[in-house]
Amino acid sequence: MLGQMMNRPLRVADILSYAEDIHGDEGVISSTVEGGIHRETYREMAARSRQLAKALFSIGIREGDRVATLAWNGFRHMELYYGIPGIGGICHTLNPRLPAEQLIFIVNHAEDRALFLDLTFVPAVEKLAAHFPKGMLYIIMTDRAHMPDTSLPGALCYEELLAAEDDGYEWPDLPEDTAAGLCYTSGTTGNPKGTLYTHRSQVLHAFMVCVATQDAMHTGRRILPVVPLFHANAWGLAHATPLAGASLIMPGPHLDGASLFDLMEAENVFSAWGVPTVWLGLMAEINKRGRLPEGFGEVVIGGSAAAPSLIEAFEEKGVDVIHAWGMTEMSPIGTLTKLEPNMQALPLEERLKLKSYQGRRAFGVEMKIVDEDGTRQRHDGKAVGELFVRGYNVMSGYYRSEESALDAEGWFGTGDVAAIRPDGFLCITDRTKDLIKSGGEWISSIDVENLALAHEQIANCAVIAVPHPKWGERPVLVAVPADGCTPDTGDVLRHLGEHLAKWQLPDDVIYVDSLPLTATGKVSKLTLRQEYADHKLPGMD
């Protein structure tokens, strides 16, 4: 028997309309590309998003059109996040850190009709425009006073487009499975692949994030997404924060430790979200100034494993660490560790242990681990296998791909290797492609990195597989020494040997000034593996 409740579609624009009605005085504070701080309430943002909707119609954008953005975290990018899907278009966020050939591939694959870009990216896009689809519209996200001289064909000015429209617009009803957003994964192997989010997945994902991070998600709280709007919905903050009525503090292009510290302090940021490399930078600044930014109480670390030493550094200073795991294909949040009060009361060491795991599933996400034959493994914290997921926020297939991305039971394979504990905590061992297979045994690169990062003379590191004639692969530690330090390799290996079996110890330690990063700001082990593919291990001639 069917129930008899109204079947109103879930729509992304309803989030902003709700924020306008209920949390109208909260909003988005942006450190801008043009310079200075811009403040906009959700009331203003909702009105401007309606103006934008009309402007999109005026320039010829229609339902189903892909509209690309190439922009930092800022208020205009947020308006695009609502205005484009609001009219039935698809907000296609481009990652400016991708190499030119990947951007060209993605824009053509998506067949974008228009590109909204920050001033910063005008020179780069001028070089790419000849390779983009014919008739592409270019809209520069600034006001008339800052419009540059540009060779971009017919370049339009964002603020002029909005100024020509009033805000009298009603969001159309769209089926809730209408596409709302598009984001390509960085494509470490092969071409990038697109995840096409729906209105339904975006709204439910926003609820999931709100429920899982309640300390931050309410009126009066200020949240800093260092995670970019240009990748995976800024971990859902683009939608969850207005829904909850908290305010967003947008860093724009200013992402170094000192700039983040200053912005957080000036704007009283409570919760900050980003990848470990960003937090290593902020932690160095905190140590330099000998204090935390005023009001800083929570940090969400995800995107790659948060090392226990980083978690400890924050916790010791009174900042609550939430370790999150997810992926683009999951909108992206899969698991989060918000410790319950009884866990929060545990001694530091036990708390740190729990937080070093990737957290527990968000509502709506189901997880299973399977062995190489596809047999389900127990959630006993010991059995390790590939992690599969399904849920409201999980992709069912890549954009314009014929191939199914799911297994026979309809689950999505994450490519991560993990165990799940009986209490629900997810423990990621590695990405399948980063695991090191030595003489038939697997070595977790994450485990070795976490231990190496606890060595006081190592600031950052990565463990990679190097080919070995006898063992197949052997681990090598690539390490960035802490400021002014020259670590002794024997001492580093002794330190690791306190916790690792001999065969798990790296065969070599290579010291570098910095580690290569992926387009999403994570350490690129692929680049390192390529760079050291011919590395001669000690004792091998």
- Which among 26, 312, 329, 386 is annotated as catalytic? 329
Assess whether 489 carries a catalytic annotation: no
Distance, in Å, from the CA atom of 21 to the CA atom of 242, rounded to the nearest integer, reads: 11
Smallest gap, in angstroms, from Cβ of residue 338 to ligand ADP?
Answer: 14
430-436-437-438 Cα dihedral, nearest 10 degrees: -140
Q: Check: CB of residue 45 under 8 Å from CB of residue 79.
A: yes
Q: Which is nearer to ligand ADP, 42 or 184 (CB)?
A: 184
Distance, in Å, from the CA atom of 457 to the CA atom of 477, rounded to the nearest integer, reads: 14
Choices 148-156, 259-267, 279-287, 318-326 (CB under 6 A): range interacting with ligand ADP: 318-326
Distance, in Å, from the CA atom of 261 to the CA atom of 255, rounded to the nearest integer, reads: 10
Interactions with ligand ADP, residue window 77-136 (CB under 6 A):
none
Smallest gap, in angstroms, from Cβ of residue 415 to ligand ADP?
Answer: 6
454-455-460-461 Cα dihedral, nearest 10 degrees: -90
Q: What are the beta bridge partners of residue 406? A: 412
Smallest gap, in angstroms, from Cβ of residue 183 to ligand ADP?
Answer: 9
Find the radius of gyration of the CA atoms of the chain: 23
Smallest gap, in angstroms, from Cβ of residue 286 to ligand ADP?
Answer: 21
Interactions with ligand ADP, residue window 210-249 (CB under 6 A):
232
Task: Give the residue, chosen from 32, 69, 142, 186, that forms a contact with ligand ADP under the rule CB under 6 A.
Answer: 186
Q: Which is nearer to ligand ADP, 43 or 368 (CB)?
A: 368
Choices 53-61, 155-163, 241-249, 410-418 (CB under 6 A): range interacting with ligand ADP: 410-418
Task: Give the residue, chosen from 185, 198, 444, 504, that forms a contact with ligand ADP under the rule CB under 6 A.
Answer: 185
Task: Give the residue, chosen from 305, 369, 395, 459, that forms a contact with ligand ADP under the rule CB under 6 A.
Answer: 305
Smallest gap, in angstroms, from Cβ of residue 279 to ligand ADP?
Answer: 12
Return the structure tokens found at 12: 């992304």
Choices 100-108, 284-292, 303-311, 477-485 (CB under 6 A): range interacting with ligand ADP: 303-311
Assess whether 502 carries a catalytic annotation: no
Q: What are the beta bridge partners of residue 44? A: none
Q: Which is nearer to ligand ADP, 46 or 311 (CB)?
A: 311
Is the Cα torsion angle 115, 121, 122, 126 positive or negative in sign?
A: negative
Q: Using the rule CB under 6 A, is 393 a contact of ligand ADP?
A: no
Choices 62-70, 121-129, 266-274, 325-333 (CB under 6 A): range interacting with ligand ADP: 325-333
Task: Give the residue, chosen from 93, 198, 445, 518, that forms a contact with ligand ADP under the rule CB under 6 A.
Answer: 518
Choices 65-73, 76-84, 111-119, 409-417 (CB under 6 A): range interacting with ligand ADP: 409-417
DSSP code of residue 329: G
Cβ neighbours, 10 Å, residue 519: 22
Q: What are the beta bridge partners of residue 304? A: none
Burial class (CB in 10 A: 0-12, 13-18, 19+), 406: middle
Task: Give the residue, chosen from 176, 298, 416, 507, that forms a contact with ligand ADP under the rule CB under 6 A.
Answer: 416
Cβ neighbours, 10 Å, residue 151: 12
Task: Give the residue, chosen from 93, 178, 304, 460, that forms a contact with ligand ADP under the rule CB under 6 A.
Answer: 304
Assess whether 442 carries a catalytic annotation: yes
Residue pointed to by tokens 């692949």:
193
Smallest gap, in angstroms, from Cβ of residue 533 to ligand ADP?
Answer: 20
With H, G, I as helix, E, B as strand and everything else as coil, classify residue 483: coil
Smallest gap, in angstroms, from Cβ of residue 302 to ligand ADP?
Answer: 5
ω before 253 within 30° of 0 (cis)?
no
Interactions with ligand ADP, residue window 351-370 (CB under 6 A):
358
Distance, in Å, from the CA atom of 534 to the CA atom of 538, rounded to the nearest integer, reads: 13
Determine how β-strand 66-70 pairs with β-strand 426-431.
unpaired
Return the structure tokens found at 380: 């006993």
- Which among 44, 315, 442, 522 is annotated as catalytic? 442
Q: To 10 degrees, what angle do helices 257-266 and 276-289 make?
A: 70
301 vs 47, 156, 298, 459, 497, CA distance in Å? Answer: 33, 38, 10, 17, 27
Smallest gap, in angstroms, from Cβ of residue 393 to ligand ADP?
Answer: 13
Choices 255-263, 323-331, 453-461, 526-534 (CB under 6 A): range interacting with ligand ADP: 323-331
Task: Give the residue, chosen from 83, 236, 274, 303, that forms a contact with ligand ADP under the rule CB under 6 A.
Answer: 303
Assess whether 213 carries a catalytic annotation: no
Q: Which residues are catalytic?
A: 185, 329, 437, 442
Where along the sequence are the contacts to ligand ADP (CB under 6 A)?
185-186, 232, 302-305, 323-328, 332, 358, 414-416, 428, 431, 518, 520, 522
